[in-house]
Structure 1
């Protein structure tokens, strides 16, 4: 007699066989450089490679327990596979194009920011908004102070350690941080732009790698010391409030489509506002969504749709995106070449200072220290939007994306203002 359990097991076995065949076809086409052009080729390769590496990372002892598991393996594994020529260069170029000019990263971040803010408790959002800026400032202050002091101990000047290492790391990534920082400094310090960039870029890359590893370690610390973490909730004592307010609605295709449209629309809105307000579109998008949420203008059903879309994207597209980060934004050769003991120590101290500053100030402001350290510390010290995704994936706290983006965009802008004031004061 065939039971329901037997039929279900048989169906699951057939599904696994079909998915394995599909994955083998995509991997073979990728390896042989026969993948189709455009989005379908890039996303197909990223999805399968991301799934395989994520599966390995989540089941590898030590790495899965202490270093972020699948996220770490996907980022650095895909970087190695493509930059060492194991997969064709053309494939790497196609993925890079899809990530950058193709807008996949912007689409992913817009989905996370829109859905996670609309999915928040309104009271939690109100409480967090004004208290979060001091966390960013505390993170930057401790990071710069520690880096300057340790720099003096290892033979560098306080100024050079802060300006060439701490500020680039804490400045919001490459495009929004290092590039404008080089422009600010090159005309005032006597150093040419190429020299400045060659010193700053390795700091960004190594700092980003350290931030990802630290994210995994902080997640482990939270498991060992539960009193330090809200398991994804930033404000202490907010968990029960969120649970009582949230009521999950049944998810259907129409609901997901509405959520995707809202995410895209809010990104468009932020981009339009950036034409008249000199701020990053992500920052303006965050502010706009937060104001809509607090004001209650968005129908509850649409808020639930945005949150459902956010969960769909996180659950299904994160490994693929991490492959894109590894291929397009992570250069292992550059990281290894810059790993002199002194340089590594200064970069490590910067990231550690960011964690300590954010954690301490966050605790004082009523936040959980680990969540504050991850968002206000590590998401200040990584490489902007790509780093935010990697850090939150490694710490398993993707719902904190809005605060991560505030750190990267508003915090990064603050670091550029600080650099301008320091250069003008000394020049």
Structure 2
């Protein structure tokens, strides 16, 4: 029976966890301690992933990630998840911020195992389709929004900008504060208007990047199976079997990789506090520098790969489940469901992906991977990148996705606030 699994949990353990969690809820002992939360979000994430994998057609475009990212929020809105569970998961998720541990570990696993000669080329090449995609997405999104009955200024500044702003903390919040000061209104009201826009954009990005991945499966010559650049060499992390090292890997190197991830994250936090630079981007570039200057021994690379595989297998869906309960509010998502918004958001996200896809060949990139990285520009920050890349089966691209989300989002926010202040509300 242990060979039968619900996502990543063996069936006997899954049944036992269901009974135990139900018992804890019944006696009112749902705490926010680590063990209880691992049981609850692990069980919820595994269940959602298994459901998503078994839905026909949806499972071809990342159904496991879509269900994990949105079904829990819907169930909370129906009152089907007990209040004690909702409160505990929300408290734990917001207080622990364990998404940063996930992102740090995946970035370390991706960068430390990439081909040295291709790292700089990859980061340099991705900026051109990102910039071209952003400009064209503004144009097409604005035109479609106008055709659907929206004012041009409304669709540009209150739809397109939030979509490409980099998520909630780095995008929607500073945008709402800036708009509030310029317009002389409460920024909270503006934030409430922007939240459903970025949630819908993230949903469209997940689905469209899942479709892009399916195109790669149908036409293999268009995809690098997780490798961004044509001709890139080096170990693949997810898309193909990894050769086992000739010597068994010492678990201490896996621990070392984990501590490197924590060290790089704290370095980003300190640089953000000192200079105001985005912490995740600082962490990313420090990892790149270590790799480029031969600061990563071979055994540490192998430990990083194992760390990557662990977080991919066991943490992805619990993370999406927890964030769905704590961050994704179903009523806010539904409030943006009218035709004009839907068309403008969909067009903006689709344009980003298509531009990356079309420009890829001329830049020596794989079209599927370039399109997916561009699509992450419309993601909901780090959580959105995880959901998008999980749906597409391309978590190896997270370092490039972070560039698209963080740097692309920061440029979008700064430019939008400068232009909005000039043209007026």
Equivalent residues in 2 for 1:360-379, closer than 5 Å: 360-376=358-374, 378-379=375-376
2:334 to 317, 333, 336: 336
Q: Give the deviation of 1:21 after TM superposition.
A: 3.6
Match of 1:6 in 2: none
**Structure-1 separation of matches of 2:145 and 2:71:** 32
Cα distance 1:121–1:169, how it changes in 2: closer, same or farther (>3 A)? same
Cα distance 1:26–1:370, how it changes in 2: closer, same or farther (>3 A)? farther
Aligned residues of 2:111 and 2:399 also touching (Cα < 8 A): yes
Match of 1:347 in 2: 345
1:299 to 297, 300, 303: 297
SS in 1 for 2:55: coil
Q: Does 1:182 align with 2:184?
A: no
After superposition, the C-alpha distances for 1:394-422 in whole angstroms (9 at most, x for unaligned) are 11111111111111111111111211331
After superposition, the C-alpha distances for 1:52-93 in whole angstroms (9 at most, x for unaligned) are 22112112211112x312111222222223332212122112
2:255 to 250, 253, 257: 257
Match of 1:419 in 2: 416
Normalized against structure 1, the TM-score is what?
0.91
Aligned residues of 1:178 and 1:200 also touching (Cα < 8 A): yes
**Structure-2 separation of matches of 1:56 and 1:155:** 38
Q: Give the deviation of 1:338 after TM superposition.
A: 1.8
List gaps (5 residues or longer) in structure 1.
1-9
After superposition, the C-alpha distances for 1:150-191 in whole angstroms (9 at most, x for unaligned) are 122223232221111000110000110011112222222455
1:142 to 131, 136, 147: 136
1:410 to 400, 407, 410: 407
Equivalent residues in 2 for 1:154-173, closer than 5 Å: 154-173=148-167
**Structure-2 separation of matches of 1:400 and 1:16:** 29
Q: Does 1:96 align with 2:90?
A: yes
Match of 1:118 in 2: 112
Aligned residues of 1:359 and 1:369 also touching (Cα < 8 A): yes
After superposition, the C-alpha distances for 1:332-361 in whole angstroms (9 at most, x for unaligned) are 222222201111111111111221222233
Cα distance 1:126–1:340, how it changes in 2: closer, same or farther (>3 A)? same
2:41 to 26, 42, 46: 46
Q: Give the deviation of 1:49 after TM superposition.
A: 1.5
Higher mean Cα deviation, 261-270 or 75-84? 75-84
Cα distance 1:18–1:411, how it changes in 2: closer, same or farther (>3 A)? same
Q: Give the deviation of 1:211 after TM superposition.
A: 1.1
Aligned residues of 2:2 and 2:12 also touching (Cα < 8 A): no
Q: Give the deviation of 1:247 after TM superposition.
A: 6.4
1:384 to 364, 381, 384: 381
**Structure-2 separation of matches of 1:29 and 1:49:** 16
Count of equivalent residues: 413
List gaps (5 residues or longer) in structure 2.
237-241
Match of 2:265 in 1: 267
**Structure-2 separation of matches of 1:11 and 1:367:** 42
Cα distance 1:414–1:363, how it changes in 2: closer, same or farther (>3 A)? farther
**Structure-2 separation of matches of 1:368 and 1:355:** 13
**Structure-1 separation of matches of 2:206 and 2:24:** 28
Cα distance 1:26–1:72, how it changes in 2: closer, same or farther (>3 A)? farther
1:357 to 355, 358, 366: 355
Equivalent residues in 2 for 1:51-90, closer than 5 Å: 51-65=46-60, 67-90=61-84
1:317 to 315, 318, 326: 315
**Structure-1 separation of matches of 2:338 and 2:317:** 31
RMSD, aligned α-carbons:
2.2
